[in-house]
Amino acid sequence: MAAVGAPLHGPANMASYPSHAGQGGGSCDDFESDQSAAFDLSDYILLDEGVAPASFGQPETAVPPTVDVGQTSETNLAASGSGGGGTRRGGVERPRTAEGSRIAFRTRSEVEILDDGFKWRKYGKKSVKNSPNPRNYYRCSTEGCSVKKRVERDKEDPSYVITTYEGTHNHMSPSLVYYTTQDSASGRFYVAGCELPPGSS
DNA sequence: CGTGTTTGACCTGCGC
DNA sequence: GCGCAGGTCAAACACG
């Protein structure tokens, strides 16, 4: 079964993964107000075996290995090309390291650009066969960070945006640094709270 | 002028 | 071996 998370709003428990514009302010109230911007995180799907993204805030033991995304009725993400060839990706399939962990989110949003606090640089746009909507390719613009994400609208419900993250940030989100903590043992980042610590403003 | 976006071309892998 | 499809590159362009 696919690791489809329960419907979520404003991923306060997802340190560096999708949220929405306006998060720069960084507070619970912001998440509430985000909803007015037509953002609703509906599903999250782990596409790849391996550790959860460091900033995802979950021990990797809690992460189901190798998820069959194709089982997700509305989110045939990796299966978008599985009709004839499974995940036939272009030549650049990279080794599955921690950098190669992938996770997809399905969010309801009017805008495709979900500001997760990181700075992304668009490097490509491609129309995909099984979807009338083009797929956009972004790369984390932080130097030394090779995290990528693909953004496309749900072919079945264009009101949903499917965002696929690939890789793990090796740095903190500029907008989340205020309320996350780093585990000294693993070096991973966890959400410490939803409010800015005193004196951080 | 610097930064980011757009867009067509190119590369690579897979199915037939 | 060929064609198709996805992913990436890079030059041109737009904007602040």
pLDDT at A77: 39
Average pLDDT in the A90-98 region?
A: 41
pLDDT at A157: 77
pLDDT at position A139 over 80: yes
Integer Cα distance of A2 and A18 in angstroms: 19
Q: How distant is the alpha carbon of residue A171 from its chain centre?
A: 15
Footprint of strand C on the protein (CB under 7 A): A 80-81, 88-92, 123-124, 126-130, 135, 137, 148, 150
Bigger pLDDT: A83 or A182? Answer: A182
Average pLDDT in the A92-118 region?
A: 63
pLDDT at A105: 77
Residue–nucleotide distance: A167 CA to B11 C1' (Å)? 22
Residue–nucleotide distance: A48 CA to B1 C1' (Å)? 42
Q: Indicate the pLDDT class of residue A46, thresholds 50, 70 and 90.
A: low
- Note the pTM of the prediction, 2 decimals: 0.63
pLDDT at position A111 over 60: yes
Q: SS3 of A123, please? A: strand
Residue–nucleotide distance: A151 CA to B15 C1' (Å)? 26
pLDDT at position A167 over 60: yes
Q: Which of A1-10, A50-59, A79-88, A157-166 has the highest mean pLDDT?
A: A157-166
Q: What is the number of other CB atoms lying within 10 angstroms of the CB of residue A65?
A: 10
